[in-house]
Structure 1
Amino acid sequence: MSPTRFAPEHRWIYVCAILLLLALVVVGLIQYNSVKTTGDAHKKANQLADELVAAGYSGPDTGGVVRTLGTDGGNVCHDPGSALKSGLWKINLSNGAAGPGQRPVISDRRVVEAEAIILGVYCPDKLEKIQDKIDDLKTDDTVRR
């Protein structure tokens, strides 16, 4: 038997070892991407919490923010200026009744500012596109602090 050849009866050991090594490399790469994404999401959530506290709001649960908004803002940043989202946004600024009792109200400016802060952290390019809609809303100081 030459020293450069593997023993045929042990070939399965080498094949299994190579397959196991490749599987570990794939799992390691997946875990690395997951940890990197989670780290980025926590960084953005902490930035959002800091900006909300600086604006006078209470700090949110950053774990919930990470799960909800991730790294890209999730559904909040998906076309916020569309007619459907604008309509739903205005419905959420109503009196809270349903059906014929639902009426528009003058919302507190701080409610609108909070959404603008979220857009500013997660998708600042989209905030610029809807800033004029935000400015056109009739708001006032309606909530006692």
Structure 2
Amino acid sequence: MTTGTEQQSTRDRSVLYIVVSVVLVALAVWAVIAFASARETQQAEEKADELVQTLEDAGATATPQPEVIARVLGDDGGAVCANPNQALSRATLYGLLTTGGSGPGMRPVLVDNTVFRGQLAIIEVYCPDELEDFQQFVDSLETTDAANG
């Protein structure tokens, strides 16, 4: 069995490769834009509006724009609702409730009881099935009323 002789010139093949490359790049750009815009669904915007209202009802004086919340949390709560009651998530939270020092200077602190309101509001709106366990966890922490006097 033999193969035929190449009939296309190098210029023809180059044009073909360039056209295919441009089409693939255009499709990739379109896919990225479509993916980014698909995250901001109507449901995400409704939940973001609900979260803003919940935060304002809880006494928040400055809340993010609903569009920003919708981009960050989507329609499922994002990282906040991924595993709020598992050991790694709680360990991360404990790590944030410290003096801010590093090494031997790192110490746990008593935080104000309002610190968890935002996270509780997010869990209430986006993943209410996790709220009861997380509320029990927050209630088990020793907090103070430092911000109010």
Q: Residue 135 of structure 2 corresponds to which residue in structure 1? A: 131
5 Å-filtered alignment, 1:1-145, equals: 34=38, 38-57=41-60, 58-144=62-148
TM-score by length of 2: 0.69
Percent identity between matched residues is: 38
| One-letter amino acid matched to 1:108 | D
CA deviation after TM superposition for structure 1 residue 93, in Å: 1.6
CA distance in structure 1 between the partners assigned to 2:148 and 2:101 by the alignment: 21
SS in 2 for 1:130: helix
Q: Which runs of 5+ in 1 are unaligned?
A: 1-29
**Offset at residue 71 of structure 1 (A):** 0.1
Contact 1:106 1:142 (C-alpha < 8 Å) held by counterparts: no
**Unpaired segments ≥5 residues, structure 2:** 1-33
**Aligned AA (2:43):** D
How many Å separate the matches in 2 of 1:102 and 1:67? 34
Number of residue equivalences: 114
State the partner residue of 1:16. none
Shift, 1:144, TM fit: 5.0
Return structure 1 stretches of 4+ with deviation > 6 angstroms. Answer: none
TM-score, normalised to structure 1, is: 0.71
The residue identity in structure 2 corresponding to 1:109 is N
CA-atom RMSD, angstroms?
2.2
Give the distance between the partners of 2:67 and 2:145, measured in 1 at CA.
Answer: 30
Give, as a single letter, the amino acid of the residue that structure 1 aligns with 2:50: Q
